[in-house]
Amino acid sequence: MVNVRSYISANFSKAFLTIFLPFFLIISLVYLVKIASLTSKVVLTFSELLTLYSYSIPDIIFYTLPISFVAALANTLIRLSADNELIVIYALGLKANSVVRGLLVLGALFSILLLSISFFTMPLTKQMYKSFKQEKKAEAKLNIVPGKFGQKFGEFYIYVKDKNENHFNDVVIFNRENRDSEQFLSANEGELKIKGKISSLLLTDGHGYTYSKDKLKQAKYKTLEVFQNIKKRNYKFEDIINYWRLAKTNEKRMHRLLFYMFVSLIPFISIYLIASFTMINPRYQSNNTFLVIFGTIFLFYSLASSLQKYGSVAMLVAFIVFTAILGRWLFNIRVARYF
């Protein structure tokens, strides 16, 4: 019995790594592109980019692991069935229920891992990510691109024609304080100055205009220093207990809590459902692996999405009980009654 479970676990491990690693890399690229988009607003070194990516790893694992588990388990069982290896196991006296009970232990370990990631690791890394991004924006070491419109310096829009390090030529700054008042500044030269965490732009030889519907004001200046108008706020970290305690009063966080819990339980509660369609007799039943994988993922993530939008504790319990009973019922009528 132990050898059979070890054999099935070994086959599952190979299938899981084959699916999980490419999937993990693909999702990682999506996150890296998202992180790299920040470089249009602030300058990030390669090490800082890797730091932000490291904060995203728990999210990537959380979203890729359940899908990889479902796909790997379905592929493992269908291959063992197609090669008649499960038939041999049944012939040795082991029932299908005994085989699945061994898989339940595996599913429970994966669910415990997901619960640990979603309830302990992800709240911390999400806060670290937000804090890091807020700090970089406050430092405002801007990556101003010559010839590009729509770039911001604090609350100002800025355009530069040429750039050499932190020195600019032909600078234009626009600021709209309200619907009836606008400011327009132009300068032959500009220099970005950073003193500690305070950033400013020193303009040289330019003109300033302030105009509204009724009047226009013009000023000529030799030097003018424009400070980035960003109020720095220290990010307030919450420990795990306080973070989830807010779910009692914050509906959005409560829905997130329910979503995390249901998705974390997918590896455990999906086993009987997957086994119902993949533990087959290849002589009489067809291989529908892709339909099984797609249908299972679609069912569970549709329920999880409902919990994230308008879920409740009662809905969570109902979904868990429903999927567990459905999987066991299908397993009994499709597999257990024959093997």
Along the 339 residues of the chain, how does pLDDT read in single tens digits?
Answer: 457 778 888 899 999 999 999 999 999 999 998 888 877 666 678 888 889 899 999 999 999 999 999 999 999 999 999 888 888 888 888 889 988 998 999 999 999 999 999 999 999 999 998 888 777 765 544 567 787 776 777 677 888 888 877 788 888 888 766 666 678 888 888 887 777 666 777 888 888 888 766 777 788 888 888 776 555 555 678 888 889 998 888 999 999 999 999 999 999 999 999 999 999 888 888 888 899 999 999 999 999 999 999 889 999 999 999 999 999 999 999 998 888
Residue 311, C-beta contacts closer than 8 angstroms, at least 6 positions apart: 254, 255, 258, 259
54: left (phi over 0), alpha (psi -120 to 50) or beta: alpha
Residue 242, C-beta contacts closer than 8 angstroms, at least 6 positions apart: none
Give the pLDDT confidence score for residue 37 in this predicted structure: 81
Return d(Cα 135, Cα 38) in angstroms, integer. 13
Q: Are 192 and 173 in contact (CB under 8 A)?
A: no
* Location of structure tokens 């086994």: 275
Closest by alpha carbon to 115, among 295, 244, 307? Answer: 244
Does the predicted TM-score (pTM) go above 0.85?
Answer: no
Return d(Cα 187, Cα 55) in angstroms, integer. 41
Return d(Cα 207, Cα 188) in angstroms, integer. 9
Q: Is residue 86 exposed (0-12), middle (13-18) or buried (19+ Cβ within 10 Å)?
A: buried
Q: Exposure string (b/e) for 251-288, b if CB count within 10 Å is 16 or more?
A: eebbbbbbbbbbbbbbbbbbbbbbbbbbbbeeeeeeee
Q: Which amino acid is at 65?
A: L
Q: Which amino acid is at 16?
A: F
Return d(Cα 17, Cα 25) in angstroms, integer. 12
Return d(Cα 314, Cα 316) in angstroms, integer. 5
Token pair, residue 78, equals 């269908």
Return d(Cα 121, Cα 157) in angstroms, integer. 38
Give the pLDDT confidence score for residue 338 in this predicted structure: 84
Token pair, residue 144, equals 């101003």
Beta strands 181-195 and 167-178, pairing class: antiparallel
**Helix/strand/coil percent split, the chain, to 5:** 60, 20, 20
What is the H or E stretch that residue 278 is in? helix 271-278
CA 13 to chain CA centroid, Å, is: 25
Q: Which amino acid is at 130?
A: K
What is the H or E stretch that residue 221 is in? strand 216-227
Q: Is the dihedral of CA 72, 76, 82, 83 positive or negative?
A: positive
Report phi then psi at 220, rounded to 5. -110, 135
Q: H helices within 117-165, ranges in order? A: 122-139
Query: Helices 46-82 and 2-36 sit at what angle, rounded to 10 degrees?
Result: 150
Give the pLDDT confidence score for residue 205 in this predicted structure: 86
